[in-house]
A and B are shown apart, each in its own frame.
Chain A
């Protein structure tokens, strides 16, 4: 029972880092990304390859994963961040597909569909209690970083980009640079979560990092409440809580994941309709569109 609780804390911590990273761009900058499970995956594979197989120190492998994710973010960010709203989503979708195909197809690096197993557990995660401590502190640390960022002058510009990009320009800031920076920070944070995740579960395979997972993460953040600190935490709770509840209800494994996604979908639509600020509240999506000049 205790071990189960610690297990949930570990997953919760990892998901909080992930949802906070997504909220930095979706809730605060107004850029929806459906590439976050791929960025999460880059971090996970970074640890699996450089720590699990090449036996670099964990921290080095972890950082490599983050840098790679940041580069992937930049690669997609450069062409697409000049675009507004919906086109950006398509570009992140492209990133998602490219990353997934890389994980799935480059077998000699990523292990292909089989993935990479037997990643040794780093010393600071040797017991579940330790792992829970590490993950909850990381969740706190990254939530704090995001909190500071979004309240700083930097975050104020991000928020204004979400509100009205023309206004940002009229006030003398170049939105492109800020969007690229925000997306890269978000990518790095997502990869940080992924690295910890890989070390904890000790294996990675591509099925964990699909588009559907990306969409589920986005759903969770919006359901929880975008543009706030508590919202993404709540979103992470949904992400780990819902599967557990469904298992508790006794749904067979084969149906449970479908039912879970149906619930995500329904909650998302209902939240958008009736409580656009999300459960916990925050930025709400009901603003009117600003037509281009």
Chain B
């Protein structure tokens, strides 16, 4: 039982990590909490579902198309709403409120189109491999692998590439970056694209595992936000540690309290972290911001 809980925790950790990576990538370049990220997660799953079952594209292809559209959707949100608000001088609080609005719209449109009941990709549950009293499906292995690859991808992007350097510059100060002639808008768009693509990917992986509902995105996003805050937004190592912590705490807590308390445990953890060090594991780095 314990080994199964650990496995489940690790798998949950990988989806949270994917969500948190996208969420904090967007946060680092645009400095606000993009809650509509949750809508992108949900839509990623549903788009893949429709492209697969209605248009008849094989699941893998459908997933790729859907992830691409999710990226575009993020960019679109940025252009249609956030950029306009920014031009009017909106601060991070206003942008966050607007993202609530966008989220509300998307979740409910999803419910109207696809219905509130759980949908799943056909062919149903894939075969699983069992060892040491723990079972793991191919989807689970894929999830773990994709999360790991995504993390490494971002680590390399930030540490090595010119694009990552520009992103870091924008993250430091948008005004200064603009003054130095960096095309900030393109950088922010790129972060929205990559971040939202991660979100769509996370949504598809979760849906392939347990099916999809219109509210799946909000829940996944909240776990991602907790990971992002506990880990300290912008610190890749912090995010990795925090996602493992949150995933394992969530799934090991069922041995102590019932499974209906999983969310409470995670949010209690968040409150404790906020009380102890408001900027998460990476508090030193954040405190340096002057």
* Residue pair A101, B261 in contact (C-beta under 8 Å): yes
Tell me whether B290 and A292 are in contact (CB under 8 A).
yes
Report yes or no: A268 in contact with B264, Cβ–Cβ below 8 A: no
Minimum Cβ distance to chain B for residue A83 (Å): 5
Residues of chain A with a CB closer than 8 A to B222's CB: 93, 97
Interface residues of A in 199-241 (CB under 8 A from B): 211-212, 215-216, 218-219, 222
Instruction: Chain A residues near B96: list those with CB within 8 A.
Output: 32, 86, 89
Interface SS of B by simple majority: helix
Q: Which residues of B contact A98 (CB under 8 A)?
A: 264, 267-268
* A191 interfacial contact with B, CB 8 Å: no
- Closest Cβ neighbor of B260 among chain A residues: A105
**Alpha-carbon gap, A104 to B264, bound state (A):** 11
Residues of B within 8 Å of A, CB-based: how many? 45
Task: State whether the Cβ of A2 lies closer than 8 Å to any Cβ in chain B.
Answer: no
**B27-47 CB contacts (< 8 Å) to partner A:** 32-33
Beta-carbon nearest neighbor of A94 in chain B: B267
Residues of B within 8 A of A87 (CB): 229, 274, 278
Give residues of chain B (93-111) contacting chain A, Cβ–Cβ below 8 Å.
93-94, 96-98, 100-105, 107-109, 111
A93-117 vs B, CB cutoff 8 Å, 1 = contact: the mask equals: 1100110011011000000000000
Contact assessment for A285 and B33 in the assembled complex, using a CB-CB cutoff below 8 Å = no
Residue from A262, A272, A286, A288 in contact with B108 in the complex, judged by beta carbons closer than 8 Å:
A262
CB-defined contacts of A269 to chain B, threshold 8 Å: 81, 98, 101-102, 105
> Bound state CA distance, A288 and B92, in angstroms?
9
CB contacts (< 8 Å) of B89 on chain A: these are 286-288
Q: Which of A76, A97, A276 contacts B94 (CB 8 A)?
A: A276
Residues of chain A within 8 A of B103, CB atoms compared: 215, 265
Contact call A268/B260, Cβ cutoff below 8 A:
no
Contact of B261 with A262 in the complex, beta carbons under 8 Å: no
Residues of A within 8 A of B94 (CB): 272, 276, 285-286
CB–CB B275/A79 < 8 A: yes
CA distance A76 to B272 in the complex (A): 10
B172 CB to closest chain A CB, in angstroms? 12
Say whether A169 faces chain B, with CB atoms less than 8 Å apart: no
A255-B112, A285-B90 as given contacts; A104 in contact with B101, CB under 8 Å:
no
Interface digits, A164-208 against B, CB 8 Å rule (1 contact, 0 not)?
A: 000000000000000000000000000000000000000000000
A82: interface (CB < 8 Å): yes
With contact pairs A98-B267, A101-B263, A273-B84 given, residues A86 and B33 touching in the complex (Cβ less than 8 Å)? yes
From A162, which residue of chain B is reached at the shortest CB distance?
B93
Complex-state Cα separation, A292 to B260, whole angstroms: 40
For the complex, give the distance between the alpha carbons of A34 and B222 in Å: 13
Separation of A268 and B272 alpha carbons in the complex (Å): 32
B241 adjacent to chain A (CB < 8 Å): no
Residues of A within 8 A of B81 (CB): 269, 273
* Minimum distance in angstroms from B20 CB to a CB of chain A: 13
A216: chain B residues within 8 A (beta carbon): 104
Tell whether A30 pairs with B93 under 8 Å between CB atoms, given A78-B275, A97-B264, A262-B104: yes
Counting CB contacts under 8 A, is A264 at the interface?
yes
Output the residue of B98, B104, B107, B267 with the most chain A CB within 10 A.
B104
In the complex, the answer to whether A218 meets B100 with C-beta atoms within 8 Å is yes
The answer to whether A264 touches B98 (Cβ under 8 A) is no
- B289 within 8 Å of A by Cβ? yes
> A91–B222 Cα gap in the complex (Å)?
11
In A234-293, the 8 Å CB interface with B consists of: 255, 258-259, 261-262, 264-269, 272-273, 276, 285-289, 292-293
Most buried by A among B103, B222, B271, B272: B271
Contacts A83-B278, A97-B263 given; indicate if A272 touches B93 (C-beta within 8 A): no
A97-B264, A262-B104 known; A272 and B91 CB under 8 Å? no
A85 interface residue, CB < 8 Å from B? Answer: yes
Q: Which of A82, A211, A258 contacts B111 (CB 8 A)?
A: A258
- A residues near B, CB below 8 A? 30, 32, 34, 76, 78-80, 82-83, 85-87, 89-91, 93-94, 97-98, 101-102, 104-105, 211-212, 215-216, 218-219, 222, 255, 258-259, 261-262, 264-269, 272-273, 276, 285-289, 292-293
Known interface pairs A268-B104, A286-B90; 15 further A-B residue pairs with C-beta atoms within 8 A, sorted by A's residue number: A32-B97, A79-B272, A82-B278, A87-B274, A89-B96, A97-B222, A105-B261, A218-B97, A261-B105, A262-B104, A269-B101, A273-B84, A285-B93, A288-B91, A292-B289
A-B pairs, top 9 by smallest CB distance, nearest first, are A265-B104, A79-B275, A268-B101, A289-B91, A265-B105, A94-B267, A258-B108, A269-B101, A265-B101
Interface residues, chain B, with chain A CB atoms under 8 Å away: 32-33, 81, 84-85, 88-94, 96-98, 100-105, 107-109, 111-112, 218, 222, 225, 229, 258, 260-261, 263-264, 267-268, 270-272, 274-275, 278, 289-290
